[in-house]
Amino acid sequence: MYRISSYSSSSSSIFIRRLLFIASFVGAIFFVPLHAMAHQAPYTAVFLDVSPDRVGAEFQIPLTELELAFGHHITADPGTLLERLGPQLKAYLLLHTHTYKNKALPWAVNITNMVMSKEQQIASGPPFWELRVNVMLVPRQNEDTRRFMLAYDGVVHQVINHVIFVAVRNDWETGRSDSLTSRSDPMTIRIGSDNKVHPLEINIEKGNLWSGVKNMVGLGMEHIKTGTDHLLFLLVLLLPSTLVVKSKRWAEFGGVKYSLKRLLKIVTAFTVGHSLTLLLGATGVFVPPSQIIEVLIAVSILVSAIHALTPIFPGKEYYVSGGFGLIHGMAFASVLYNMQLYGKILILSILGFNIGIEMMQLFIVALVVPWLILLSRGKHYSIIRVTGAIVAIIASVAWIIERISGRPNVVSTNLQPIFDQGIWFIIGLACIAVISFLYQKRRRHAFI
């Protein structure tokens, strides 16, 4: 039930955001360099994932502060803490976590996961440990989750100067998503002017099912739009799709009908693949470690890029795109899984999210394919195909290294801003296509 986590890039970015936030809290900061993190972050962060029928909460509690309230010298050997004192910690947290609309009718509180998270400080000094706890808060029948009291006083019941920052990380109905940054104005739980700790009222604007599904569609679209790796995979896979193979090499344009048929099959196979794992992952049936998935996604780009250079699996693109679809789907699933959704809401979310992914994917295919068809008729298409494949190979290798080592490298950091301008790439492609089309037409006219 308990596991020691080795966190990947997503949680380290949370840590950086957190440090930024803490530093800015202390001083209304305009500029915070990220070096020299000599001081530990002594605050608790509580993130709320609000869905219509329940509220997921994630507590991130610094161990040095927790020790002052919980005792047991827990900072001495944090690595084995959950094996030794898991049940006691769970009991402690349950004692200090209550939610209700009506104090006499408290909500059900269940701890669903506890992990120890170790962040290496960049500056010298001891590693920074925190306990991360996922809690599920379930309202009474006929009660909604828009307005309730959060009576959580972990650590702060004992450590008088301790501060708990609370942010609504996900709100399913309205799409609200607060982060703990220098610009956010988070809610706090801390000692009041009467020297007592009071419950915090969470009061979120009303939304509805329809706006919730719409948000999920938007989230799906956003995920493809900003997910450079998914986009690059798709584009590289499409790059040779209009060509026929002759003597184990990419040869000439296979015709419009041939191209469209192949494109349709590739895109459909990818969709079937990622829909399947999205369903399995979001429902929690199969949740592989995110780091492995991220590495495999980069590998999928590398393989398709090599295939764009020289056909390594001609005629079997559907299996490959379907297979890699399975992997990309697992990454999509982690987005939903982390929102802690259940039942009807989860099904609606998977549906909406997948529709969003599909819409964005088709939009991009529609944006790129006409130019690919135009260009691949020409003799010089191989220049574009090979250039595109080489860029993708460089990027994917850089990502593989980054995702295995957990550290950004020169290539990956410099490529990102270029990829962020992806729309210019498509416009450029369109311009080249139109110019070369007109040029060829004129030459044909000249011969007549």
Q: Which residues bind other proteins (CB under 8 A)?
A: 19, 23, 25-33, 35-39, 42, 64-65, 68-69, 123-126, 158-162, 188, 190-195
**How crowded is residue 209: how many other Cβ atoms within 10 Å of its Cβ?**
13
CB of 61 to other proteins, least distance (A): 13
Q: Which is nearer to other proteins, 191 or 432 (CB)?
A: 191
Residues linked to residue 250 through DSSP beta bridges, in sequence order: 245
How is 226-268 classified by DSSP, letter by letter?
H-HHHHHHHHHHHTTTTEEEETTEEEEE--HHHHHHHHHHHHH
Handedness of CA 391, 394, 400, 401 (dihedral sign): negative
Q: Which is nearer to other proteins, 43 or 353 (CB)?
A: 43
CB of 177 to other proteins, least distance (A): 22
CB of 81 to other proteins, least distance (A): 19
> What's 81-104 look like in SS3?
HHHHHHHHHHHHHHHCEEEECCCC
Bridge-based pairing state of the strands 128-138 and 187-189: unpaired
- Dihedral, CA of residue 276, residue 282, residue 286 and residue 291, to nearest 10: 100
Q: Which is nearer to other proteins, 14 or 296 (CB)?
A: 14
CB 223 within 8 A of CB 231: no
Helix (H) or strand (E) holding 401: helix 381-405
CB of 29 to other proteins, least distance (A): 6
Buried b (16+ CB within 10 A) or exposed e, 30-47: eeeeeeebeebbebbbbb
CB of 163 to other proteins, least distance (A): 8
CB of 160 to other proteins, least distance (A): 4
Q: Which is nearer to other proteins, 137 or 155 (CB)?
A: 155
Q: Which is nearer to other proteins, 159 or 168 (CB)?
A: 159
Q: Which is nearer to other proteins, 23 or 138 (CB)?
A: 23
